[in-house]
Amino acid sequence: MRMNAKVVLITGGAAGIGKATALRFAEEGAKVVICDVNGALGQATVELLGVGSSFYQVDVTNRSAVQKWVDEVIARHGRIDVLINNAGILRDGLFIKFKDGQLIGQMAEADFDAVVSVNLKGVFNCAQAVSAQMVRQGSGVILNATSIVGLDGNFGQTNYVATKAGVVGMTKVWARELGSYGVRVNAVAPGFIATEMVAAMPEKVLDGMKSRTPLGRLGEPRDIANAYLFLASDDAAFITGEILRVDGGIVVGT
């Protein structure tokens, strides 16, 4: 019960890593508050979390909606102990694509903007709204979802990589700025994780992911949830500004 009675906010908490993290923290006694844009999945997930937990339908790109969510949580619980910035999207595509010396395609501006809005601005919105309360109460933990590709790059993911690298930078800045107020800020960088979306990929693609992972398997969402739990707990009381890779020792190819 490492999170007993702690108020834990998780964005994108309706499915995948967010759902696994919500369940893991609930097991440890937390009052889990999830948000997601998917109302049906959010309601289904919160029913699994037990008494004291709640779901809010929130778009993290909407600044006023995020602030309203945070204000309502504070009004209900009186404090916020942990924020896990998990919400994120993909819109993969080549930066530019040439064939026979001719430009035949490129990443759409709309796809770049959408990923930046959710994965980078959304993290900024939620962390800024929550950190004010954490500073007032003199304690708190902010955990951000980056990715191994934010550290190593990846083919066809200019937009996603840019956001995840940006999250690394923001994590380090906030750790410096908020540390004197008793607030710790860290990030987790998952490798290939067997979420619902990944599990639906062709077997050949999955085998390629496994072949580049020395441990020989995809990670489970619970593997990432356990990393978040450690960083949120008092076991990590002297850890801030760090990026924890949870990737099975992966080597990202070209």
Nearest by Cα to 146 from 167, 127, 125, 126: 167
Query: In whole angstroms, what is the distance from residue 122 CA to residue 228 CA?
Result: 19
Structure tokens at 232: 């949120």
Q: Which of 56, 160, 181, 228 is catalytic?
A: 160
Instruction: Say whether 82 sits in a helix, a strand or coil.
Output: strand
Burial of 106-137, coded b for 16+ CB within 10 Å and e otherwise, reads ebeeebbebbbbbbbbbbbbbbebbbebbbee
Q: Is 160 a catalytic residue?
A: yes
Residue ranges of alpha helices (H) inside the chain are: 16-27, 39-46, 63-77, 109-116, 122-137, 148-152, 158-178, 196-199, 203-211, 221-232
Active site residues: 160
